[in-house]
Amino acid sequence: MRAVALPGPWSKLVRIVTISLATLLAVALVVVQPHEVRAASSYDDVVDITFPVNSYQRYTDDFDHSRSGGRTHQATDIMTVYGEPVYATVSGVIDRAWGIDGDPPSWGYAIYLRGDDGRTYVYIHLGRQDGPPSEAFAPGIDNGVRVERGQHLGYAGHSGNASESAPHLHLEIHDPSITNPYGEHRMNPYPSLKDAERRGDYPATRQEVTREVTCTGDAYAFAGDWDASGRDGQGWWCDGMVRLRTASGQVITYNYGRAGDIPIVADWNGNGQDTVSIVRDGTWHLRNRLSSGHADRTFVFGRVTQGDVPIAGDWNGDGRDTVGIIRDGEWHLRHDQSGGPGQIVFTYGRITRGDRPLIGDWDGNGRDTVGIVREREWHLRYSLSGGPGETVYIYGRVLQGDTPVMGDWTGNGVTTPGIVRDREWHLRNQHRGGAADQVVLFSAP
């Protein structure tokens, strides 16, 4: 497992440096009590389910929308990104995994789950029509296999008649005891999905036993003000697992994103609280809460798959973070949370030759500016422009594996340095080298 610095609301840089951490850490997850089977008397009743994905863009009440050939859409489409993991809404048995042999039907890869509650749950458009079953089904999924509520079933996609530009999960609920206005035994999933969302019942919180999990990908270290206290705490992200510690010591854990995503820390709405968002293949998925769930906003900005580094900061001092990218040595900053050309563009540092970008409010004036760590020297500028560092000092042993981070550790509005050394966070309260003013022990998830 690699640990990668992602400096918090002051610098959202990723893939900066590797440090050594244990690869297997025990994580205590929620123990779920058995669920009472809830009878339905109407096709639009709420039934007790777990939301089938951890991350999504949107879904609407499209149960009776018209489709080609005079059909009606007796399901709910959950818009997400290609490859988003799909999970079991209830416990039961896989009645049929359509296409498990590599020959999906015309409607695409699909799973029919016969639930313990007597209903059948149908997941359609998994993977892609010309793709292998491994892009549609999770390992171990097959006809007749028993699965538990919240268990990984497969991956959302666009197989069948779904548009490649709009991957999604088509979810149906069949109940033999009810009849809908179209004379069929299908329920409207939308009310049950909204109920699961309201309760916070996502797959990440539905683990039935305490188990050990392995962080096999990049572990990103960052800081952020998780409780709007004015002081930054510590944070880790690995393979979609989020573990945060507030400045007062409260620990927050949940899942958002998946392996291969790039986490971004920012205060998007100016309420004083930082949250964790992700960038996936160039698409930014902004989340306004510290919890699993759908993205509040999505947009495309930069060419992240071609090496652009996503960042965020408060460039104009209005209290809201906006987006930016670093392309080679050029910084392209925007004053909003959307795609488009950079509104502030300048060259600073040698990012492609090992410099590590930093962003923060170095003097407490309410505006973020830029900096770099070059070998073991920290170079900070007080404007959004290129030029020599206006404050330069040495801190930590970055060349020997320390991971640089930055945050407002005291709540005085000034961003100062820190380094992560294994699970120790060595924090300084001023811009100069020396012994740490505070050492916090906080491990990756």
281: confidence class by pLDDT, cuts 50, 70, 90: confident
pLDDT band at 21 (very low <50, low <70, confident <90, very high): very low
313, amino acid identity: G
As a whole number, mean pLDDT of residues 318-342 equals 95
pLDDT given for residue 38 in this prediction: 57
Q: For 401-425, what is each residue's pLDDT tens digit? A: 899 999 999 999 999 999 999 889 9
d(CA 418, CA 402): 10
2-5 and 218-224 strand pairing:
parallel
The Cα–Cα gap between 329 and 353 comes to 9
Architecture in CATH for domain 58-205: Distorted Sandwich (2.70)
Q: How far apart are the C-alpha atoms of 124 and 106, rounded to whole Å? A: 11
Q: Which two tokens stand for residue 347?
A: 């060259």
Same fold, 2-28+211-441 and 58-205: no
Would you say residue 1 has pLDDT above 50? no
Task: Encode pLDDT of 51-84 as tens digits.
Answer: 999 878 889 998 988 776 667 889 999 998 888 8
Q: How confident is the model at residue 182 (pLDDT cuts 50, 70, 90)?
A: confident
Instruction: Say which residues have a Cβ less than 8 Å from residue 177's Cβ, sequence separation at least 6.
Output: 39, 40, 118, 185
CA distance linking residue 56 with residue 350, whole number of Å: 36
Instruction: Give yes or no for residue 227 having a pLDDT over 70.
Output: yes
Query: 19-28, 45-54, 118-127: which range is least confident on average?
Result: 19-28
Looking at residue 2, what is its pLDDT? 37
pLDDT score at 88: 95
Encode pLDDT of 204-220 as tens digits.
Answer: 766 433 334 457 778 99
Return the half-sphere exposure (C-beta side, CA atoms, 13 A cut-off) of residue 42: 5
Examine the pLDDT at 11 and tell me if it is beyond 60. Answer: no
Q: Which residues pair with 441 in a beta bridge?
A: 424
Residue 193 reports pLDDT greater than 80: yes
User: How far is residue 57 CA from its own chain's centroid?
Assistant: 12
Tracing tokens 């500028």 back to the chain, one arrives at 381
In angstroms, the CA 9 to CA 250 distance is 19
Angle value at C-alpha 21, between 18 and 25, nearest 5 degrees: 140
Confidence band of 295 (pLDDT split at 50, 70, 90): confident
Output the pLDDT for position 112: 98
pLDDT of residue 68: 60
Partnered with residue 255 across adjacent β-strands are 241
Position 391 scores a pLDDT of 96
Percent above pLDDT 90 for the chain: 62
Q: What is the pLDDT of residue 23?
A: 32
- Extents of the domains making up the chain: 2-28+211-441, 58-205
Q: Which of 146-155, 265-274, 311-320 has the lowest mean pLDDT?
A: 146-155
The 3-class SS string of the chain reads CEEEECCCCCCCCCCCCCCECCCEEEECCCCCCCCCCCCCCCCCCCCCCCCCCCCCCEECCCCCCECHHHCECCCEEEECCCCCEEECCCCEEEEEEECCCCCCCCCCEEEEEEECCCCEEEEEEECCCCCCHHHCECCCCCCCCEECCCCEEEEEECCCCCCCCCCEEEEEEECCCCCCCCCCCEECHHHHHHHHHHHCCCHHHCCCCCEEEECCCEEEEEEECCCCCCCCEEEEEECCEEEEECCCCCEEEEECCCCCCEEEEECCCCCCCCEEEEEECCEEEECCCCCCCCCCEEEECCCHHHCCEEEEECCCCCCCCEEEEEECCEEEECCCCCCCCCCEEEECCCHHHCCEEEEECCCCCCCCEEEEEECCEEEECCCCCCCCCCEEEECCCHHHCCEEEEECCCCCCCCEEEEEECCEEEECCCCCCCCCCEEEECCCC
Q: What is the pLDDT, as a whole number, of residue 174?
A: 96
Q: Which CATH number fits domain 2-28+211-441: 2.120.10, 1.10.760, 2.60.40, 2.30.30?
A: 2.120.10
Q: Say whether pLDDT at 201 is over 50.
A: yes
Contact 121, 71 (CB under 8 A): no
In the predicted model, what is the mean pLDDT of residues 292-315?
Answer: 90
Rg over alpha carbons for the chain, rounded to the nearest Å, is 24
pLDDT single digits (tens) 242-253: 999 999 888 888
Cα–Cα nearest to 405, from 371, 382, 434: 371
Work out the pLDDT band at 354, boundaries 50, 70, 90.
confident
Sheet with 2-5, edge to edge strand ranges: 2-5, 218-224, 233-238, 241-245, 251-255
**Residues ≥6 apart with Cβ < 8 Å to 117:** 35, 37, 38, 47, 48, 90, 92
- Say what the pLDDT of residue 397 is: 87
Q: Given this model, what pLDDT does residue 71 score?
A: 77
Mean pLDDT over residues 280-296, rounded? 89
